[in-house]
Structure 1
């Protein structure tokens, strides 16, 4: 992102700069939503992978703080 935007700005291709910015915002929003869903269901996912109940509970409490 930084490299592409820097090159577009240096080459005075401001239209490409806008396109790169829009694409990166969309990609980051989709990634953030996916991670938030995974974080919200972290305890069942950890239990499904065979983690102990105590560790899954502690990890889910920690991960809930990362959602915002």
Structure 2
């Protein structure tokens, strides 16, 4: 599940970058930083959700 979420965020970043390349250079570099930040954030969130899920299973079983 974590892998799927991470790869989805990468795909989103690539599509955002391709849109920005058409509109201009200055916004492209800004969007590169923003999308890489989003990638990191989504991956961290996915790890936290999985961790809570596994702990929940362990405690209840």
1:23-57 per-residue CA deviation (whole Å, 9 max, x = no partner) reads: 11111111111111121222233578xxx73xxxx
Measured in 2, the distance between the counterparts of 1:17 and 1:45 equals: 42
Change in Cα spacing, 1:6 to 1:45, as seen in structure 2 (3 Å) is same
Count of residues in correspondence between the two structures:
49
Does 2:35 correspond to 1:33?
no
Pair member with larger Rg: 1
> Normalization by structure 2: what TM-score?
0.53
Partner of 1:9: 21
CA-based RMSD = 2.5
Long gaps (5+) in structure 2: 1-12
Long gaps (5+) in structure 1: 54-68
Q: Please identify, of 2-11 and 28-37, the stretch whose mean Cα deviation from structure 2 is larger.
A: 2-11
Poorly superposed stretches of 4+, deviation over 6 Å: none
